[in-house]
Structure 1
Amino acid sequence: MFRRSLRPVLIALLFLLPDFSTAASSARPDGIEAARLLDTLHLDGELFHVQGLAMTATRIWVTSVDRGSRRGYLHEFERSTGRFLRRLELTDGARYHPGGISVAGGSIWIPVAEMRPDSSADLVQIDADTFRIRRRVSFPDHLGCVAIAGDRLIAGNWDSRLFYVFDLTGQQRTRVVRNPSATHYQDMKFVDGVLVAGGDRGLFSGTVDWIDWPSMTVARTLRAGAIGPVRPFGRGGPYTGEGMTIEGRDLYVVPEDGPSRVFRFRLDA
């Protein structure tokens, strides 16, 4: 009984020891493999547990979930300064968990799900200019991230164990594919004919994967370490554990809960 009562305390102390994360990092890079950190941008305004990231030339969008109040949000920032612009609540009853997001054709696509596996979700299409909801499509599983592939939507369920492929209305499911990787993808983007997906493999590590389309096989993997202090004791986690987007050779990630920063990495050729 005494040993059992001590176990949770000892586990907590291990997480708090500074050398613990160093020891755990021996099999992973400190940042992102084959990538160089260029800069960071602080995001003003109130953010909670970050989930997804999308960007245009002038705007940054981030989704986050306030687990205490069971509410989910889409936040908009000015890209050049990180200045907060506006926020849209996405909560729909038990569905309050917004996930990884994608932008296409003037719309922001966001899955908003119950915060548990094997549950339900809405695929929400939002006008990027007006912040008005254009469409909300219900689906009988948790959806945690979404990417736009031409005339197709690709959505991952809890930990992206499965990928669902829909037509662009989000209403007709055309295909179901098992995750070809052990990574729990949290955010993904369709770039130059390839699905680029980032996620975690645990508290201290994650990957960014390039997945061929439509075969859905992993063509390239970059390992990622963690930024500390690591959740649940801090606000950090694996660099690729939450919001992620990519532009050319620049990879952007938001690994911290609020207050948050956008980290910009330059990938090797």
Structure 2
Amino acid sequence: MIRKAMLAGLTTVFLVVSSLSVAAVPNPFSGTIENAQLLGSLQLDGELFHVQGLEIKEDTIWVTSVDNDNHRGYIHEFDRLTGKLRRRLELTDGARYHPGGISFSQGSIWVPVAEMRPDSTAVLVEIDAASLKVRRKIHVADHLGCVAAMAGKLVAGNWDSKLFYVFDLASDTPERIVPNPTQTHYQDMKFVDGHLVAGGNLTWLSGAVDWIEWPSMKLKRTLQAGAVGPVRPFGRGGPYTGEGMAIDGRDLFVVPEDGPSRMFHFKLTS
């Protein structure tokens, strides 16, 4: 009887919270990713925790995840064909154990590793993609949760990506700090053909992929994204674009689930 009462109570709480979430979105997008066709998914066969970032290059997949229970952060390397784990590197740096969205440029993977709270500290870590050895660290007096890299430049978003820190790699000091032109809480972003392509969540149930013109930082295009599976914190799912995202031409890849995780492959249709 007590067990049934507890289950009934939990169910009621879930329904109430779910209804509040839905109420926060008057017209939630009901599909997966707007103007995109789902081609399939790949099971990532290796221990992952709370997924944060995704990057793909040729036959390799990199994923960052944070072990919240033990305050540890990692970057994991997978085989793109089989999904098998090849190796991983711990990124924990004292109180900084939250690795965010990642970006590949000129043989390096850039990863922000931050304290698990806003208005804190972070390091932007440059990792050699071949050896997984750390090349460089840039210390920043704010939480940074994602980074995009291209030749000589970095753009990093802080907590909920309310601000973008723009770096010239000739210096460890940001050359400018720019407000986010959208309401999207970016988790991962990349430089693609003169734009920042950034994905993140708007609510528990919805997210977006945005194209932001570089260097003006003006929003040019948005694709809506729905949810996959039960919504956190009650289940493993969330918005498709709520965590790791990578893009290659018209191919869009997302890892919206905590471990055990799948990488979903979409083809942009327009």
Following TM superposition, by how much is the alpha carbon of 1:164 offset from its aligned partner in structure 2, in angstroms? 0.4
The answer to whether structure 1 residue 52 and structure 2 residue 27 are counterparts is: no
The answer to whether structure 1 residue 247 and structure 2 residue 248 are counterparts is: yes
CA contact (8 A) 2:28 2:206 kept: no
Q: Please give the alpha-carbon distance, in whole angstroms, between the structure 1 residues aligned to 2:91 and 2:38.
A: 32
Following TM superposition, by how much is the alpha carbon of 1:29 offset from its aligned partner in structure 2, in angstroms? 3.0
Q: Please give the alpha-carbon distance, in whole angstroms, between the structure 2 residues aligned to 1:233 and 1:111.
A: 27
Following TM superposition, by how much is the alpha carbon of 1:230 offset from its aligned partner in structure 2, in angstroms? 1.3
Letter in 2 for 1:225: G
Deviates more, 1:40-49 or 1:24-33: 24-33
Once the two structures are superposed, the pairs formed by residues 123-138 of structure 1 within 5 Å of their partners are 123-138=124-139
The answer to whether structure 1 residue 228 and structure 2 residue 222 are counterparts is: no
CA contact (8 A) 2:161 2:186 kept: yes
Once the two structures are superposed, the pairs formed by residues 23-62 of structure 1 within 5 Å of their partners are 26-62=27-63
Give the structure-2-normalised TM-score: 0.92
Q: Please give the alpha-carbon distance, in whole angstroms, between the structure 2 residues aligned to 1:150 and 1:75.
A: 24
Letter in 1 for 2:81: S
The counterpart of 2:12, out of the listed 10, 21, 26, is: 10
What secondary structure is seen at the aligned counterpart in 2 of 1:261? Answer: strand
What secondary structure is seen at the aligned counterpart in 1 of 2:160? Answer: helix
What secondary structure is seen at the aligned counterpart in 2 of 1:138? Answer: strand
Q: Please give the alpha-carbon distance, in whole angstroms, between the structure 2 residues aligned to 1:188 and 1:262.
A: 16
Which residue of the partner structure matches residue 267 of structure 1?
Answer: 268
Following TM superposition, by how much is the alpha carbon of 1:235 offset from its aligned partner in structure 2, in angstroms? 1.1
CA contact (8 A) 1:145 1:187 kept: yes
Following TM superposition, by how much is the alpha carbon of 1:179 offset from its aligned partner in structure 2, in angstroms? 0.4
Once the two structures are superposed, the pairs formed by residues 54-203 of structure 1 within 5 Å of their partners are 54-168=55-169, 171-203=172-204
Letter in 2 for 1:70: H
Which residue of the partner structure matches residue 215 of structure 1?
Answer: 216
Following TM superposition, by how much is the alpha carbon of 1:7 offset from its aligned partner in structure 2, in angstroms? 9.4
Letter in 2 for 1:183: T
Q: Please give the alpha-carbon distance, in whole angstroms, between the structure 2 residues aligned to 1:242 and 1:109.
A: 16
Following TM superposition, by how much is the alpha carbon of 1:170 offset from its aligned partner in structure 2, in angstroms? 6.0
Following TM superposition, by how much is the alpha carbon of 1:15 offset from its aligned partner in structure 2, in angstroms? 5.4
Q: Please give the alpha-carbon distance, in whole angstroms, between the structure 2 residues aligned to 1:232 and 1:141.
A: 26
**Is the alpha carbon distance of 1:258 and 1:170 closer, same or farther for their aligned partners in structure 2, counting shifts above 3 Å?**
farther
Q: Please give the alpha-carbon distance, in whole angstroms, between the structure 1 residues aligned to 2:210 and 2:38.
A: 18
What secondary structure is seen at the aligned counterpart in 1 of 2:58? Answer: coil
Letter in 2 for 1:105: Q
Structure 1 spans left out of the alignment, 5+ residues = 1-5
Q: Which runs of 4+ in 1 moved over 4 A?
A: 6-9, 23-26
What secondary structure is seen at the aligned counterpart in 2 of 1:27? Answer: coil
Deviates more, 1:130-139 or 1:47-56: 130-139
Aligned residues: 262
Q: Please give the alpha-carbon distance, in whole angstroms, between the structure 2 residues aligned to 1:193 and 1:26.
A: 32
Q: Please give the alpha-carbon distance, in whole angstroms, between the structure 2 residues aligned to 1:241 and 1:171.
A: 29
Q: Please give the alpha-carbon distance, in whole angstroms, between the structure 1 residues aligned to 2:200 and 2:96.
A: 22
CA contact (8 A) 1:211 1:219 kept: yes
Structure 2 spans left out of the alignment, 5+ residues = 1-7
Letter in 2 for 1:206: G
Following TM superposition, by how much is the alpha carbon of 1:10 offset from its aligned partner in structure 2, in angstroms? 3.4
Letter in 2 for 1:48: F
CA contact (8 A) 1:121 1:143 kept: yes
**Is the alpha carbon distance of 1:103 and 1:74 closer, same or farther for their aligned partners in structure 2, counting shifts above 3 Å?**
same
Following TM superposition, by how much is the alpha carbon of 1:70 offset from its aligned partner in structure 2, in angstroms? 0.5
Q: Please give the alpha-carbon distance, in whole angstroms, between the structure 1 residues aligned to 2:77 and 2:90.
A: 12
Q: Please give the alpha-carbon distance, in whole angstroms, between the structure 1 residues aligned to 2:9 and 2:141.
A: 39
Letter in 2 for 1:140: A
Q: Please give the alpha-carbon distance, in whole angstroms, between the structure 1 residues aligned to 2:164 and 2:131.
A: 30
CA-atom RMSD, angstroms?
A: 2.2
**Is the alpha carbon distance of 1:162 and 1:16 closer, same or farther for their aligned partners in structure 2, counting shifts above 3 Å?**
closer
Letter in 1 for 2:147: V
Following TM superposition, by how much is the alpha carbon of 1:13 offset from its aligned partner in structure 2, in angstroms? 3.6
